[in-house]
């Protein structure tokens, strides 16, 4: 589904992603762990199309199309979703309106009709309940005044409503309480199937215990320094990053 080839990215002449190669196959759950500042969020942002990065070399292919030729909204319409490490507050825009606009834009791009409002709201309410998210969140301004954990839950709510092909989750577990982590992890586990892929960036074992990734990569200084299966998470928890960097 996603293939990153020889990718090098810099900001203000500082190299942050350094000749990275990574493949994410359809149906796979892939985890990236790595020390603070190693370039994990930069990688997520570059895949999603955030401006402000210099792409010095390489390609990112999504379903065999080089996405550097596509705007962020086109990437989203093709099925790439990024749950932000730091979700943005947008006062004056209601959560549900934002989500409905996003969904309808994607539908329009793919030649589908706008959503029926009633069906959309019913689906929102249904999913809110499953995620134990109070339905008052739907009418509140996007992320405005939400607690840290509520923002993260709202990101997952949007993701599950958008039904993307590639879900990039940048530290979705930070700030979640123990019960919320269970609810979110279950939601992700159930969403995952042979037609979509998850890229999970995390510092902690607990989320991965629930999600059971197929592959784990350790990231340092903008590249993968070690790859393995789930057992790598346990080794990391025991020995720390020093063993690998
Ligand atoms: N716009 C920018 N201007 C200057 N430096 C930047 C910019 N964006 C990223 N960096 C630097 O690039 C490096 C990688 O940052 P990034 O946010 O990708 O790290 P990370 O692996 O996600 O870390 P964390 O685990 O703390 O979230 C850091 O040293 C950061 O300061
Ligand atoms: Mg980060």
CA 194 from centroid of its chain's CA atoms: 18
DSSP string across 10-55 = EETTEEEEEEEEEEE-TT-EEEEE--TTSSHHHHHHHHHT-SS-EE
Domain range list for the chain:
2-243
CATH code of the region 2-243: 3.40.50.300
Pocket test for ligand 1, best of 39, 53, 221, 224 (most atoms within 8 A of CB): 39
Kindly state the average pLDDT of the residues 157-171.
97
Beta strand pairing call for 166-170 and 197-201: parallel
Estimate the share of the chain in helix, then strand, then coil, as percent rounded to the nearest 5. 40, 30, 30
Tokens representing 166 are 């590639």
Tokens representing 183 are 């609810």
Pocket test for ligand 1, best of 7, 14, 16, 85 (most atoms within 8 A of CB): 16
**What is the pLDDT of the chain when averaged over all its residues?**
95
Locate the ligand 1 atom nearest the alpha carbon of residue 39 and give its number.
Answer: 18
pLDDT of res. 243: 87
pLDDT at 198 over 90: yes
pLDDT at 200 over 90: yes
Kindly state the average pLDDT of the residues 3-13.
97
pLDDT-derived band at 118 (thresholds 50, 70, 90) equals very high
pLDDT of res. 244: 87
- pLDDT above 90 covers a percentage of the chain that reads 95
pTM (predicted TM-score)? 0.95
């Amino acid at each position: 589904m996603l293939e990153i080839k020889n990718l090098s990215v810099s900001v203000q002449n500082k190299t942050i992603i350094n000749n990275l190669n990574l493949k994410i196959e359809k149906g796979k759950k892939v985890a990236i762990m790595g020390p603070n500042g190693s370039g994990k969020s930069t990688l997520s942002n570059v895949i999603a199309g955030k401006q402000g990065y210099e792409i010095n070399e390489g390609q990112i292919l999504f379903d065999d199309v080089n996405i550097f030729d596509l705007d962020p909204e086109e990437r989203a319409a093709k099925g790439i979703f990024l749950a932000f490490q730091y979700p943005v507050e947008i006062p004056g825009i209601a959560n549900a309106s934002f989500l409905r606009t996003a969904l309808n834009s994607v539908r329009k791009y793919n030649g589908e009709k706008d959503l029926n409002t009633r069906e959309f709201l019913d689906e929102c309410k249904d999913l809110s309940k499953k995620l134990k998210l109070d339905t008052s969140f739907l009418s509140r301004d996007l992320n405005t005044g939400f607690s840290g954990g509520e923002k993260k839950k709202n990101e997952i709510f949007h993701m599950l409503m958008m039904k993307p092909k590639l879900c990039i989750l940048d530290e979705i577990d930070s700030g979640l309480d123990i019960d919320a982590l269970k609810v979110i992890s279950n939601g992700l586990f159930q969403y995952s199937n042979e037609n979509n892929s998850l890229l999970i960036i995390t510092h902690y074992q607990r989320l991965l215990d629930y999600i059971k990734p197929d592959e784990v990569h350790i990231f340092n200084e903008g590249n993968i320094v070690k790859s393995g299966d789930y057992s790598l998470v346990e080794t990391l928890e025991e020995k720390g990053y020093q063993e690998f960097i």
